[in-house]
Amino acid sequence: MGNSSKQQALSKIRFLEDQLVSLDHYLPETYDYLMRELDIQKRILAELEVQEPFASIDAEKSK
């Protein structure tokens, strides 16, 4: 589950970054929206990347 969720988050991040690059002129509301969504996806990715080592640490403690 973790790996496919990470892939989904990475795909969304790439998409949002492409959308930001493709803005032909500065559109404040659109830019703000894309940046908010990008921040959300990067936070989700960071959470997933932290969960894996934490799960390993917890598994070692319970042995």
Rounded Cα–Cα distance for residues 57 and 17 (Å): 33
pTM over the 0.95 mark: no
Q: What are 5-58's pLDDT values in tens digits? A: 999 999 999 999 999 999 888 889 999 999 999 999 999 999 999 998 898 888
Q: Which residue has the tokens 């002129």?
A: 25
Name the packing angle between helices 28-61 and 2-21 (round to 10°): 160
Q: Where are the domains of the chain?
A: 2-58
User: Which residue type does 57 have?
Assistant: I
Rounded Cα–Cα distance for residues 60 and 53 (Å): 11
Q: Which residue has the tokens 């990470």?
A: 6
